[in-house]
Structure 1
Amino acid sequence: KVDDLFKKQQAFGYTQEDLVRMIVPMAKDGKDPVGAMGADAPLAILSDKPQLLYSYFKQMFAQVTNPPIDSIREEMVTSTRVMLGNSGNLTDPNKAGTYALSMRTPILTNQELASIKALDCRRMKSVTLPILFDPTKGADGLRDALNELCEKAEEAARTEQNVLILSDRGVDENHAPIPALLAVAAVHNHLIRKVLRTEIGLILESGEPREVHHFCTLIGYGVTAINPYLALETVRDLQARKRLGDITPEQAEKNYIKAAVGGIMKVMSKMGISTVRSYHGAQIFEALGLNTNFINKFFVNTPTRIGGIGLVGVANEALARYDRAFKSDESVLEPGGWYGPVKDGEEH
């Protein structure tokens, strides 16, 4: 079981730094860890190591001298609630067929996701689509898998389903995960082009996201809720190995989700946004190191001023993580070194 967890952590690019600097403080203290300004690690496009797609996006912020909103002291105007399902027509609030679940936060536990997957009543139906591709086919395999995913999502939106779950469970020697942010943005923008996006709610069940920036980019590019199953599994493993002090597994998971949601609110407040529903799909990011064709297809209208890699480059980085998990005999996670210099880690 531990070996299985380790393989999955490798496949999704987990590092020792992710565990020590991000996940442990979140699960132990229930707060998003704070670091100093002045990051001196290279931009993702200039790094020698394979990067997650999130690292190519930078959050924009309201460029004013006073903070646009204080998410702690002005908590009464903030809301983490999201609506999942058919959000209908804003100009016709009584439109027949509009039906949605109201959820307290955009981060879901495994139990909450299982409840949503089990929905099968007249007005709420869910469907799960895999976000995996054939690693032997390289970038072509990723491109084909994305095209097929968008077609199936469109088909689901045109039928009775109103909850679409994108899942990368099932990663193994024969299946590599599509980068979660790419899958989400591809489906979201495809459904917008087909004028179907409001017909269906979008959930991500993924082992890839584990820190606040990951959750923010996913919500910003259209996902309604996220179940970070591998992060939650990692939290429970850390608790079992006594890395989180004297707390129960349930409390550790609760702390982690609380830290993630608090961090999302903190990031949103930099732009003066006070509700997750306003941040959802707002795409308030700029890309650094992604080429224009790639952005225009999957991340429509996102500024990208310096160009860089496209689908082939993103596929190569995903396959580098896959190869480390299933084609090497590495027995430890990569050191990381994004937030601070470490031996054999990221250059600074």
Structure 2
Amino acid sequence: RRFNTGAMSYGSISREQHECLAVAMNRLHGRSNSGEGGEDPARETPRANGDSARSAIKQVASGRFGVTSRYLVSATEIQIKMAQGAKPGEGGHLPGKKVYPWIAEVRQSTPGVSLISPPPHHDIYSIEDLAELIFDLKCANPGARVSVKLCALAGVGTIATGVAKGGADKILVSGHNGGTGAAPRDSIYHAGIPFEIGLAETQQTLLRNGLRSRVVLETDGKLMSGRDVAMAALLGAEEFGFATMPLIACGCLMQRDCQRDTCPAGVATQDCRLRARFSGRPEHVVNFMTFVAEELREIMASLGFRTVDEMVGRADCLVQVPVAGEASWKANCLDLSDLLAPGVCEFGRQIAGADAPRFLPEMAADLELGRTLDATLLVPYTERARAHLEPIHLRADIDNVNRCVGTMLGSRVTAAHPDGLPEGSVTVDCEGSAGQSFGAFLPAGVTLNVAGDANDYFGKGLSGGVLSVRPADGATYKFDENVIVGNVALYGATGGRAFVNGLAGQRFCVRNSGATVVVEGVGAHGCEYMTGGTVVVLGEVGPNFAAGMSGGVAYVYDRFGTLARRCNRELVNLEEPGEKDLELVRSLVEEHVRRTASPRGIKLLYQFNEARHSFVKVIPRDYERVLGLMAEAEAAGASREAALERAFDVMREG
């Protein structure tokens, strides 16, 4: 029950390998980690023999690929990946030739087009921001644990202290060994440090700050035997992650060419011919984990421990042993005294032996979810409507202390109706200043309207719902010249619609992969890393617009001709929109006016015959090529699925 698999994303390894690991860990009552990249919803349904291929741990990484309300609600544990031990400071990269149609569907991206996860989370620039994301995810699934993955580096203990204070349930310290075979070789050989060093520092720092009993500690980094698990436990870990050895148990040959899609064992590939060679079975992983547990029991017995809890943090049971042989003189120069030092509590007293603190459930952080607006108003008042599909319309006064409004309501909707409700089932009109993460992960069927303004992270992870924001009645400022939603709005949105009567801050619609949005102006880095969806901007954009954009379309009302110098044109083209494009833009502006009474929108509709000439279409080159290839195939009589396959084959061949 303390064993987890390491994060292996849906896309990096084959579907058969991914499901094999999930089934094995569920049989063991351990937990399989989805990795970043989403997960096929079909895996939520148990198999005929009772096995489940659902990954209990769902990962939330910087790319936010496939992070929907359904994805989060199906989790037993949600893991925020801040860094990876094998390549600290670097993001993920899935080459275009491995983005097969079924991978693109789950990640809501374009087949054949490379996917990049940036090194930072765009909604995390401080410990306070991390605490906000923890709160968001707790609201998105109140029954799940939230863990934070850190890499073993000097100073990780200080960061872990902030994570514990931010309300996380678990901290994972990841070592430099193991990790993806697709990591750059310089990172594999020269970056990161062993998990033992990072784990010991984290354990000692949490003890010193009186926080060790508030969080569970986990570690990974090429744990391969019961002895490795015993050492990790004695240094402070309570849970243990495995990745390399389960892959080897399933047939991995350690070829370390995972990024090339040529794995001869069918483990790290999406190629159908190579996947047919996969011979792994859940029984292989179960047997390996059983042997590890048996070896761990033998070591525990030799040390006099009856349970793993008794040995957590007992660094006094570890001693440095001299290495024999003349060639080992360098190893004997190592001083491990700091690594094996007894813990010191916040009062300066040394903690050794059986007094070593460990996680206590009663000491876990209380984020007071029961006092949120959702828990006290929205969830109780919409219960009948959700159960009997009766439309309901509510009104609520809000203030900026009301964070994540609608998120907990959305989780209840998704739990009962995984695909959401019919549009308009639940409508809430809010007046005032919306706090952070208003409408985060909102599913289909829920509509939230704000008369006032909204803080940062508006519509984060929007998953099918409808959002709108407009100035309060009686506002005297110019709507289209003032910021009405904060930074990082609609980050990682996967579906739904949003309408903003006013300007948005920086990093608007970063990593949007499916939402349709209308806004009247954006700050710097708008539509960055976007992979899908439609964005209509009825005003000026800030510098670095569309940087890293690989999918979706943006239409910008470029009245003053500034887009060309503010747009990052490395991956995109600026084109004149066609008639179908303009029809779409006009229909979206009309809906924008209906929902927000936008003066600028009304003016544009009256002058549309003239204004249409000032719209510019921003579209990624590879995305446009895929759309063209699909159109050709469909014109020749192919189905959409066949056309998508054909377009991918062409993109893969270059």
Of Structure 1 and Structure 2, the greater strand share is in 2
Structure scoring higher RCO (CA < 8 A, sep ≥ 6) equals: 1
Of Structure 1 and Structure 2, the greater helix share is in 1
TM category (shorter chain) comes to: 0.3 to 0.5
* TM-score, normalised relative to structure 2: 0.25
Instruction: Please identify the structure whose Cα radius of gyration is greater.
Output: 2
